[in-house]
Amino acid sequence: MELTKDVTLVPDVSQDKLVDLYKQMWVIRFFDEKVDEFFAKGMIHGTTHLAVGQEASAAGACALLDNEDKITSTHRGHGHCIAKGATPDKMMAELFGRTTGYCKGKGGSMHIADIDIGNLGANGIVAGGIPLAVGSALTAKMKKHDYVTVCFFGDGATNEGSFHEAVNLASIWDLPVIFVCENNLYGMSGNVNEMTNVKNIADRAAAYGIQGAVADGNDIVDMMNKTNDAVDRARNGEGPSLIEAKTYRWKGHSKSDAKKYRTREEENEWKAKDPIKRFREVLIEADILTEEKAEEIRKAAKKEIEDAVEFAENSPMPTEDDLLTDVYA
């Protein structure tokens, strides 16, 4: 599909699907902004890691997946959950610690999972989801299933031993897994250039003999195109790929991060690359959206999050009898 004179979407995607993706990006952003507000007010406990500004990498990577396809997520995973089909009401209830949440209020922000839609779960351990994704892909190959597994992780995870071990294993066994590194420039407070001495994290793919690609993580069309290529290769038995999505988190690493390690000028430079604004401009130029329709969709997404908050606040808290249910020992 030719979206503009300079932007071509490789797979055949309907206009309705593109409009749905535009709304989905707003839902992801409004969800995280609302969570940020509630943590500041002390209404949600524990911690949280927000991905405001990274909506295109999650939405783009999951846009062309089937319901049977799997994902593994990270501590910064709300966007991945929504992009794979999770409903904001059950997600919000989970963060509020209510029994109607995805994990009955026991998992919280970093552990949302929904096996029915292929979300194998977020993970509070840096790089913890990478071996799990390889296990999922191994299952698909051994049982001759058609699904692929998309594995999300941050730039900091690429220096963990589990990254090397899992990618190497996926490579030698030609497993149907797509490794998506969301490089938002910072692992907590350290710049990626201080942690990794390569220009692109995707360049590391060559060391494992797999396909590597750098994507503009703030451009949902580029993310869809790069992921589509990797998914096709995986489905055709051509093994794993490593996609580096270059993006930026607008907020701090977690709720207690004052972001003193970076400049406001840098933040403003990246905010000017707002992925939602960029996609909106593409859709309007392609006559898929009008200004009025785009605003209607934005308002509808905001209302969806407001409804999710109402659902969570009106949901029951766990009782003492729930304390030892759904645990393993």
Which residues are CB-contacts of 224 (< 8 A; sequence separation ≥ 6)? 9, 10, 11, 13, 60, 63, 64
Paired tokens of 311? 């659902």
What crossing angle do the helices spanning 220-235 and 55-62 adopt, rounded to 10°?
30
CATH topology of domain 15-312: Rossmann fold (3.40.50)
Question: pLDDT tens, 256-267?
Answer: 888 889 999 999
Paired tokens of 266? 């840098």
Is it the case that residue 284 has pLDDT exceeding 70? Answer: yes
pLDDT score at 304: 98
Tell me the average pLDDT of the chain: 94
Which residues are CB-contacts of 101 (< 8 A; sequence separation ≥ 6)? 90, 91, 92, 93, 94, 95, 107, 312, 315
pLDDT band per the 50, 70, 90 thresholds, residue 5: low
Question: pLDDT tens, 220-244?
Answer: 999 999 999 999 999 999 999 999 9
- Beta-ladder partners of 190: 187
pLDDT score at 256: 81
**Proportion of the chain above pLDDT 70, given as a percent:** 98
Spell out the domain ranges in the chain. Answer: 15-312
Question: pLDDT tens, 144-176?
Answer: 999 999 999 999 999 999 999 999 999 999 999
Q: What is the dihedral of CA 122, 126, 130, 135, to 10 degrees?
A: -70
pLDDT band per the 50, 70, 90 thresholds, residue 46: confident
Residue 206's CB: how many other CB atoms inside 10 A?
A: 11
Is it the case that residue 287 has pLDDT exceeding 60? Answer: yes
